[in-house]
Amino acid sequence: KTTDVKTFSSPSAVKLARSLASDLGDNGAGWYFNNDTSQLVMNVMTEDAAKTVEAQGAVAKIVQNSMSELKAATKTLSTDASWAGTAWSIDPVTNKVRVTADKTVTGTKWATLTKATDAMDGMVSVQRTKGEFKRFDEGDTAQPGANGGAAGAGDAAGDAAGDDAAAGGAGDAGAGDAGAGGAAAGGAGEAAGGAGEAAGGAGGGGEAAAGLVGGDAIFGGGARCSLGFNVSVDGAPGFLTAGHCGNESETWTADQAGAQALGTVQDTQFPETDFALVMYDDAATQPESAVKLADGSNQAIGRAVEASVGLKVQRSGSTTGVSDGEVTGLNATVNYGGGDIVNGLIQTNVCAEPGDSGGAMFAEDAAVGLTSGGSGDCTQGGETFFQPVTGAL
C-alpha cells in the first residue's frame, strides 16, 4: 500500500527531511521543499529507500548521482577550475552540481572550465550570468538608499524556516544531505535574539546604536556596508555583518562623517567564510533584535535557522532595501577574484547591490544569512550568496 503524499509547512518539512536523511544514509542523495505543492522531495538511490520515504508522506525521487559523487565533483572543480568569476553548489532539484560562470570567464578560462565539466558528464550543469561576481560592499561616498527597495514591499517571507538551529551549524558544512545547510565555522555568539528588547541606550553613540537594526547602513574604513543581526555575546551587545566588511575597518559608525560611533570588530573571517562580529562600544546599549522592512517598520527576529533549498526568504540592505526570492543551493563556493574564495555559502535568486553587504537574510522571524556578494542588480535581477548565520554564531 502506497501512503498518500502529504503537504508540509517548511519547518515540519525540514524536521522530517533531517530524520529521513539520517535513516537513509548513503541511499539518500539530498532533498528540497517544493513551494508550489508544499511537498517534501527526497532524492534516493534505491527502490527500498523510496518506499521508506513514501511511507512518511514525502515524495521519493530516484536519482542517478549519489551525494558522495556530487561532493567529489565539487572537489574536482576546486582543484581544476576555480577561476575568478566562477561559482558552484549542489542542486538537489536537478541532482547535479550547478556551475555558474560570470562574464569575465572567457578564452582559456572558459575552455578549462568546459573541459573540466565535460569530464563530469551527467553530474554537472553549466550556466552563464551576464553580470560579474563581486562582493557587495561600497565606498562610503555613495549614499544609502531608502530602505524599501525593488521587490517585496513588506511581503511575508513564506513559511518560517525550519526548526531552531543550534549555534555552529549542522555537520558537513550544510552539504551532507544537500537539504538544510549552514557552514560549520568558528566565531562567537549566542542566539540571534539580540541583546535586549526596547531600543534605548545611553547618550551619543549609544543612542545611535540602540536604533539600528538589520539592513541599516554602517560605515568604516571608507566603506559602507549593512548591519546583519544584533546579537548578545556573554551578555554584551554586538552585531553581525560581512567578514569582508570587518576587514575594511576595526571601528564602525552609524554615519558617514564618523561622528556616531557604534563599535569595534572583535572577530572577522574572510575569505573562506564571510562574517564579522562587532561589539558595541557602549555596553549598556540595548539594540532591538529586528530587521528593517520596506515600509520602514521592523520585523522582530527571535531565532536563527539553517537554510534549505526552496525556502522563501527576504533580504534587507542599506542600498536596495528589501528584496525577496528563495534559496537555490547550499554549500556554495564563489570565487570573487584576488584570492577571495568563499565556501559554505547559501545561493539564492535574491538580488542585491554594493552597500548591501552584511545585510540580513531572513524568513519571517528567523535569521538565515548575511549578504556576501553575487552578480546582477535589483533592476535587471541577479543572484546573491549569503554566509549562513548558524555558521557565524
**Could you list the active site residues?**
244, 274, 357
Provide the terminal-to-terminal Cα distance of the chain, rounded to the nearest Å: 45
The β-bridge relationship of strands 303-304 and 366-377 is parallel
Q: Quick one: how far is CA 159 from the chain centroid?
A: 17
The β-bridge relationship of strands 39-44 and 59-62 is parallel
Measured CA to CA, the distance from residue 282 to residue 301 in angstroms comes to 22
Measured CA to CA, the distance from residue 313 to residue 333 in angstroms comes to 20
The sheet that has 28-34: what strands, in order across it?
28-34, 39-44, 59-62
- Spatial neighbors of 56 by CB under 8 A, at least 6 apart, are 3, 16, 20
- Three-class DSSP category at 164: coil
Is the distance from CB of 250 to CB of 213 less than 8 angstroms?
Answer: no
Which string of DSSP letters, residue by residue, matches 101-129? E-TT--HHHHHHHHHHHHTTTTTEEEEE-
Measured CA to CA, the distance from residue 132 to residue 152 in angstroms comes to 24
Instruction: Please state the length of the chain.
Output: 393
- Listed residue (247, 244, 219) closest to 141, CA to CA: 219
Give the CA radius of gyration of the chain. Answer: 20
Q: Is the peptide bond before 271 cis (omega within 30 degrees of 0)?
A: yes
Strand partners, 232: 237
Take residue 278 and report the three cell numbers written for it. 562587532
